[in-house]
Amino acid sequence: MGVSPVIAIHQVSHFFGRGRLRKQVLFDIDVEIYPGEVVIMSGPSGSGKTTLLTLIGALRSTQTGSLQVFNQQLREANTRELVKVRRYIGYIFQAHNLLQSLTARQNVQMALDLHVEIDKKVAYQRSIDMLAEVGLAEWANYYPQELSGGQKQRVAIARALVSHPKIVLADEPTASLDKQSGRDVVELMQRLAKQQGCTILMVTHDNRVLDVADRLIHMEDGRLSTQDQAFGLPAPVSP
Ligand code: ADP
Ligand code: MG
| Strand-strand pairing, 66-69 and 23-33 | unpaired
**Is 132 within a domain?**
yes
Q: How high is the pLDDT of residue 33?
A: 96
Listed residue (131, 129, 110, 135) closest to 120, CA to CA: 110
**Separation of first and last alpha carbons in the chain:** 32
Length of the chain: 239
Q: How far is the CA of 173 from the centre of ligand 2 (A)?
A: 11
Residue 212: inside a domain: yes
What residues line ligand 1, using a CB cutoff of 6 Å?
Answer: 16-17, 25, 43, 45-51
Residue-wise pLDDT tens digits, 99-129? 999 999 999 999 998 888 899 999 999 999 9
Domain encompassing residue 226: 35-59+91-230
Q: What is the pLDDT of residues 16-39, one digit of tens each?
A: 999 999 999 999 999 999 999 999
Q: Which atom of ligand 1 is nearest to the CA of 219?
A: 3
How many other C-beta atoms can be found within 10 angstroms of the C-beta atom of residue 57? 20
Q: Answer yes or no: is 170 within a domain.
A: yes
Q: Is residue 80 domain-resident?
A: no
Evaluate whether residue 85 is within a structural domain. Answer: no
CA of 3 to the centre of ligand 2 (A): 30
Instruction: Give domain status of residue 200, yes or no.
Output: yes
- Give, using CA atoms, the residue closest to atom 23 of ligand 1: 16
List the CATH number of the domain containing 145. 3.40.50.300
In a domain, 19, yes or no: no
Q: Which residues of 23-52 are buried (b: 16+ CB within 10 A; e: fewer)?
A: eebbeebebebbebbbbbbbbeeebbbbbb
Q: How many domains in the chain? A: 1
Ligand sitting nearest the alpha carbon of 49: 1
In a domain? residue 81:
no
Q: How does pLDDT run across 30-70, given as a tens digit for each residue? A: 999 999 999 999 999 999 999 999 999 999 999 999 999 99
* Whether the Cβ atoms of residue 69 and residue 167 lie closer than 8 Å to each other: yes
CA of 57 to the centre of ligand 2 (A): 14
Q: Is the pTM of this model over 0.95?
A: no
